[in-house]
Structure 1
Amino acid sequence: MPSLRLGVSLQPRWPLDDGTAVLRAARRAEELGFDHVAVGNRLLDSGFGLDTDPLVLLSAVAAVTTRLRLLTSVLVAPYYPAPVLANQAATLDVVSGGRLILGVGTGWNPAEFEAVGVPVRERGARTDDHLAASRALWAQRPADFDGPFTRLRGARLGVPPVTPGGPPVWVGGHSDAALRRVLRLGDGWYGTGVDADQVRDVRRRLRELAADGAASTGDAGAAGAAERLTLAAAAFLTPPGVPAVTEPPGRPLGGAAPSAASVADELGRLGEAGLAACTLWLPVAAGHVEEAMEWIAAEVAPQLT
Structure 2
Amino acid sequence: MKIGAVFPQLEIGADPKTVRDWTTTVEQAGYNHVLAYDHVLGADPANRPGWTGYTDKSLFHEVFVLFGYMAAITTNLELVTGVLVLPQRQTALVAKQAAEVDVLCGGRLRLGVGIGWNQVEYQALGVPFRQRGALLEEQVDVLRKLWAEPVISYDGKYHEIVEAGLNPLPGRQIPIWFGGGADAVLRRTGRIGDGWMPQSAPDEAARQQIATIREAAEAAGRDPHSIGIEARLTLAAVPEEDRRAFVEGWRNLGATHLCVNTMNLGLSRPEDHAAVLAEVLPELI
Normalized against structure 1, the TM-score is what?
A: 0.82
> Contact 2:196–2:229 at 8 Å: present in 1 too?
yes
C-alpha displacement at 1:42, in angstroms? 1.0
Shift of 1:145: 1.8
Q: Which residue of 2 aligns with 1:117?
A: 126
* In structure 2, distance between residues paired with 1:114 and 1:30: 38
Could you report, residue by residue, the CA deviation over 1:159-206 in whole angstroms, capped at 9, with x for unpaired residues? 2003x2x21111112112112221333211111123143443222111
Corresponding position of 1:149: 158
1:279 matched to 2:259? The reply is yes
Distance in 1, matches of 2:214 and 2:226, equals: 11
Please name the residue that 1:288 is paired with.
272
**What SS does structure 1 have at the residue aligned with 2:251?**
helix
Structure 2 counterpart of 1:258: 240
Distance 1:294 1:49, change over 3 A: farther
CA gap of 1:292–1:31, structure 2 versus 1, over 3 A, is same
Alignment of 1:38-77 (within 5 A): 38-45=35-42, 46=54, 50-77=59-86
Please tell me whether the aligned partners of residues 199 and 270 of structure 1 are also in contact (alpha carbons under 8 angstroms): no
Separation in 2 of the partners of 1:236 and 1:49? Answer: 18
For residues 155 and 72 of structure 1, what CA distance do their matches in structure 2 show? 26
Task: After superposition, give the CA deviation of every residue in 1:252-276 in whole Å (9 maximum; x if it has no partner).
Answer: 23xxx323xx212220121111011
- C-alpha contact 1:200 1:274 (8 A) present in aligned 2: no
Partner of 1:247: none
Structure 1 spans left out of the alignment, 5+ residues? 215-221, 239-251
Identify which of 129, 142, 146 aligns with 1:133. 142
**Per-residue CA distance 1:233-260 (angstroms, 9 max, x = gap):** 222113xxxxxxxxxxxxx23xxx323x
Question: With structure 2 as the length reference, what TM-score do the two structures score?
Answer: 0.88
**Separation in 1 of the partners of 2:33 and 2:181?**
22
Partner of 2:21: 24
Distance 2:191 2:214 in 1: 13
CA shift, 1:132, in A, is 1.0
Map Cα deviations across residues 99-127 of structure 1 (whole Å, 9 max, x no partner).
00100001110110111011110111221
Alignment-mate amino acid for residue 272 of structure 2: H
Residue correspondence of structure 1 range 201-220 to structure 2 within 5 A:
201-211=208-218, 214=219
Q: Which moved more, 1:196-205 or 1:140-149?
A: 196-205
Please tell me whether the aligned partners of residues 10 and 22 of structure 1 are also in contact (alpha carbons under 8 angstroms): no
Q: Distance in 1 between matches of 2:20 and 2:209?
A: 34
Q: Distance in 2 between matches of 1:210 and 1:167?
A: 19
SS in 2 for 1:121: coil
User: Structure 1 pair 282/49, CA: closer, same or farther in 2 (3 Å)?
Assistant: farther
2:91 corresponds to 1:82: yes
In percent, how many aligned pairs have the same letter?
30
Please, which of 12, 15, 27 is the counterpart of residue 13 of structure 2? 15
Q: Which amino acid aligns with 1:117?
A: G
Picking from 115, 123, 142, the partner of 1:106 is 115
Measure how far apart 1:74 and its partner are. 0.5
Q: CA deviation at 1:49?
A: 5.1
Equivalences, count: 268
Tell me how far apart the structure 1 counterparts of residues 124 and 83 of structure 2 sit (CA, whole Å). Answer: 19
- Which AA in structure 2 matches 1:281? N
Q: Is the 8 A contact 2:80 2:111 kept in 1?
A: yes
Query: Could you list the runs of 5+ residues in structure 2 that have no partner in the other structure?
Result: 43-53
For 2:51, the equivalent position in structure 1 comes to: none
1:187 maps to which residue? Answer: 194
